[in-house]
Copies of this chain bind each other. A is one copy, B any other.
Amino acid sequence: MAARQIPEASVARLPVYLRALVDTAERGTHTVSSEALATAAGVNSAKIRKDLSYLGSYGTRGVGYDVEYLIHQISRELGLTQDWATCIVGIGNLGHALANYGGFAERGFRIAALLDTDTSKVGQMVAGLDVLHFDDVERIVKEEEISIGIIAVPGPHAQEVGDRLCAAGITSILNFAPAVLQVAEGVSLRKVDLSIELQILSFYEQRRVAEESVRHGTARRRLEEAALPHAEA
């Protein structure tokens, strides 16, 4: 088993499983079936089994998975057994919120630096950290051994910030800026775009409205049909 090269789609689900498992463990349960874990994670059981099979054979036939053991294996696979140093660039509304968000540190992501170019922000204390000037990014990344950069600057500045981060030796970027980012070869990039998510919802929202009028039309037609002499009792 243990076939290397886990599909991207599976990797993206592992953190979800991990969370479901931690919840399960907190409830004092020590064994889960793929079915139970599927329910907790909001997917189907075949997907769970397939995804977990990429990591190895960690389950027991006829029984299920040991919760603690699986938590350990997934954590290891995700690289969560070590700590990663991150920096947040752009201490505006969102940067502030991210700096204060407890969920990062909880999972081993240490916020090692807050950076901004705005001199009125530099020197401020945010979430217990001094805001430093982005000009010093190369030195800070090296000193703090930062590998993950979080971009929370306005869209038009995202690319230059990304370039500087790449140049400074960062190897992963999480981009919150509403802009398409080009990164150096070999740097991982993920993006979170708030307004894109709303626009996707808007599409389905509109389609729902369109379908509703169609359905009303259909309903009306059905009534008409029902009114025809050959309608069934």
Contact = CB atoms under 8 A, between A and B. Distances in A.
Interface of A: 11-12, 14-16, 18-20, 40-42, 77-80, 82, 84, 86, 93-94, 96-98, 100-101, 103-104, 106-109, 147-148, 171-174, 178-182, 186, 188, 190, 192-208
Given A84-B205, A148-B201, A180-B20, A192 B194 contact: yes
A70 B196 CA distance: 17
Nearest to A172: B201
A207 B6 CA distance: 11
B101 A93 contact: yes
A223 to B, nearest CB: 23
A194 B103 contact: yes
Contact of A190 (B79, B182, B201, B206): B201
B180 A16 contact: yes
